[in-house]
Amino acid sequence: MFAYLPVLQVRIQFALAFMLTFPRSNDPMFNRKAVFSLYTGLAEYAWWWERDLKRKIKAVQKGAR
Residues 6+ apart with CB under 8 A from 14: 39, 40, 42, 43
Q: What integer pLDDT is reported at residue 27 of this predicted model?
A: 64
List the pLDDT tens digit at each of the 65 positions of the chain. Answer: 556 666 677 777 777 777 777 666 666 666 777 777 777 788 788 888 888 888 988 998 888 76
Q: Is the dihedral of CA 55, 56, 59, 64 positive or negative?
A: negative
Q: What integer pLDDT is reported at residue 35 of this predicted model?
A: 75
- Give the whole-angstrom CA distance, residue 39 versus residue 13: 10
Domain range list for the chain: 29-65
Residues 6+ apart with CB under 8 A from 62: none
Q: What integer pLDDT is reported at residue 22 of this predicted model?
A: 67
Q: What integer pLDDT is reported at residue 42 of this predicted model?
A: 81
